[in-house]
């Protein structure tokens, strides 16, 4: 089985590639990434040497139809796994056009080209942010209304709906996963957990939006990767699968956990004006994925976050060059 993985040099994509190559010995991967600011070849250091002909990399923009067609002609692919996306909410507020280009136009290009070249399955990696904001109770299910609050989440919602339309119109075997907030190794430093870790290590102020009471459901990236491969192999075409870990935490509690683990004072916390359109709470009902895919998360989130902190402490050689590029 050969997979066409897009955005494989990003945080989740690179962890997925490592996970598949380690656990699925008969699977090969063609990784396509345009290497924008969050795409980093160092995320996959050693993979090509360890995997030989099972792994190959191509630099390409997923909205470039001619280039994507040419890459699909190199192999007979079982599936596309589309991680490629502009994904930071703050950046989407500043430059929404970039998100429309990659997340919608790029996804449309991939869907059309995959169908043209007889690729059997297309897995669209999405986000729980397409559902908008929850109140203090309840969980997002796969039938929750789509109510995106930012240009980022709106672009992901548009891509999801486009992918589902390709299934209903053409019978294309599309599957969508919508995951909660990921954490783990190789996450770009602009995201909450690595940003707070690196600023705490440097004894710099830790910026916390608003009152810090926004709630997110945290999942270890390896658990997310396991859910994606389960959905790819066991999921039903035309279906959406929510992926979460029942790991709800307030942002301020995550920040305080990081400070405590590093032995840093809470006086480093700096409350800043809230983000525009900041969703208050996300929480995921993953029972459908448990029931239909046989998947369940393995990592306990508080321990997983502590292990992630330790990874960043040990891997300065990975993140210090990224800080210089920002």
Q: Measured between alpha carbons, how far is residue 156 from residues 31, 84, 99, 279 in Å? A: 21, 11, 9, 15
The verdict on whether 129 is a catalytic residue reads yes
Choose, from 152, 183, 241, 312, the residue flagged as catalytic.
Answer: 152
The verdict on whether 248 is a catalytic residue reads no
The verdict on whether 128 is a catalytic residue reads yes
> Cβ neighbours of residue 84 under 8 Å, at least 6 residues apart?
6, 7, 10, 13, 32, 33, 34, 62, 102, 106, 110
Choose, from 33, 128, 217, 248, the residue flagged as catalytic.
Answer: 128
Three-state SS letters, the chain: CEEEEECCCCHHHHHHHHHHHHHCCCCEEEEEECCCCCCCHHHHCCHHHHHHHHEEEEECCCCCHHHHHHHHCCCCCCEEEECCCCCCHHHHHHCHHHHHHHHHHHHHHHHHHHHHCCCCEEEEEEEHHHHCCCCCCCCECCCCCCCCCCHHHHHHHHHHHHHHHHHHHHCCEEEEEEECEEECCCCCCCCHHHHHHHHHHCCCCEEEECCCCCEEEEEEHHHHHHHHHHHHHHCCCCCEEEECCCCEEEHHHHHHHHHHHHCCCHHHEEEECCCCCCCCECCECCHHHHHHHCCCCCCCHHHHHHHHHHHHHHCHHHHHHHHHHC
Choose, from 61, 129, 160, 248, the residue flagged as catalytic.
Answer: 129
How many Å apart are CA 191 and CA 127, to the nearest integer?
15
How many Å apart are CA 256 and CA 261, to the nearest integer?
9
Active-site residue list: 128-129, 152
């Amino acid at each position: 089985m050969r997979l066409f993985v897009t955005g494989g040099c990003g945080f989740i994509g690179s962890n997925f590639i490592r996970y598949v190559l380690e656990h699925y010995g008969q699977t090969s991967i063609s990784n396509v990434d345009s290497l924008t600011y969050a795409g980093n070849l160092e995320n996959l250091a050693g993979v090509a040497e360890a995997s030989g002909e099972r792994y190959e990399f191509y630099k390409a923009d997923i909205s470039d139809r001619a280039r994507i067609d040419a890459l699909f002609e190199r192999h007979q692919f079982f599936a596309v796994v589309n991680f490629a996306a502009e994904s930071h909410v703050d950046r989407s507020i500043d430059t929404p056009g970039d998100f429309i280009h990659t997340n919608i136009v790029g996804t449309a290009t991939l869907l059309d080209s995959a169908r043209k070249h007889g690729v059997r399955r297309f897995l669209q990696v999405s986000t729980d942010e397409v559902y908008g904001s929850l109140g203090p109770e309840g969980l997002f299910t796969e039938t929750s209304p789509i109510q995106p609050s930012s240009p980022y989440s709106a672009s992901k919602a548009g891509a999801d709906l486009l992918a589902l339309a390709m299934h209903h119109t053409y019978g294309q075997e599309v599957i969508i996963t919508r995951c909660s907030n990921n954490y783990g190794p190789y996450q770009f430093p602009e995201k909450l957990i690595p940003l707070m870790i690196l600023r705490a290590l440097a004894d710099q102020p830790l910026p916390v939006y608003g009152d810090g009471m926004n709630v997110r459901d945290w999942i270890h990236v390896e658990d997310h990767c396991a859910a994606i491969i389960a959905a790819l192999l066991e999921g039903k075409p035309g279906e959406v699968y929510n992926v979460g870990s029942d790991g709800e935490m307030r942002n301020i509690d995550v920040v305080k956990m990081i400070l405590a683990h590093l032995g840093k004072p809470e006086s480093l916390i700096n409350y800043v004006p809230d983000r525009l359109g900041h969703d208050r709470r996300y929480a995921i009902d993953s029972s459908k994925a448990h029931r239909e895919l046989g998947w369940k998360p393995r990592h306990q989130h508080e321990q997983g976050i502590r292990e992630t902190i330790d990874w960043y402490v040990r891997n300065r050689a990975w993140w210090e060059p990224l800080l210089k590029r920002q």
